[in-house]
Structure formats: C-alpha cells, structure tokens
Amino acid sequence: MTDRISKTREEWKKVLTPEQYEICINKGTEPPFSGKYCDSKENGVYKCVCCGEELFKSDTKFDSGSGWPSFWQPIADEKIEYVSDTSCGMVRTEVNCNKCGAHLGHVFDDGPKPTNQRYCINSVSLDLSKDKQ
C-alpha cells in the first residue's frame, strides 16, 4: 500500500463539496435511499471520492434493502480501516478508506454468502469508475 494521505480539515474543505466533507470528514451519513449509487447496476470499480483508492467492485454489490449501496467484500481487506463505533447507542464497526481516512460507512454481519458481510456505504463517499464496453 502507498503512504497514507494526510490533509488538514481546511485542506479537505477546499477540495470536497460540503456534502462530501460532512460525510467523509465529519463522519456523517446520507439519508437512506437518497444516494446516487443506491440502485446502480452499472459495472465498474467504486473508488474513494477523497483520494481515488479503489475500494469495491460492482460484482460484489447487492441490494440489501437498507437504502445505501451495499457490498459483500472490499477489493482487498487492507484497503479498509476498521474502527469500533459506539455512537448512537449501539456497537458497530465503522469503515474508512485506509489510504486517506475518509469515512465510508459501516460493516455488518448480516450480508450474503460467501462472506456474510454487508458493507453499508454512503454514495457520497464513492466515485464509480465505469467499465468500458
């Protein structure tokens, strides 16, 4: 893996939209069923909107009914930073981009086989690089 990207909050504010900043840097979340990739069936690779790191392939995306794009595994486990999150009165595992630290969403143990994982990711934190046909 390449060196971790480190920027100040002010540097991130200059390169991200207010919505991207709120979700990726302030660890916010988009409303369910509002994200541009929630219902997307397009083929490609989902990258971190902050640094361009390739995170998820479209062939691991599934409809979880949760209102957020869901994947059953990342491209590689080392692409994701896992952090215990006890906010909102529950215990969850937050997932961040391991290259830049951007907040992506959370992972849960109620996904499909073969991993039984559901990476519940904010569309705002992703950029789809579509496969060329």
Q: List the catalytic residue out of 24, 38, 48, 120.
A: 120
88 classed as catalytic: no
Q: What is the CA radius of gyration of the chain?
A: 14
Total Cβ atoms within 10 A of residue 84: 8
- Rounded to whole angstroms, the Cα distance separating 70 from 36 reads 13
Residue 44, SS3 per DSSP: strand
Positions annotated as catalytic residues are: 120
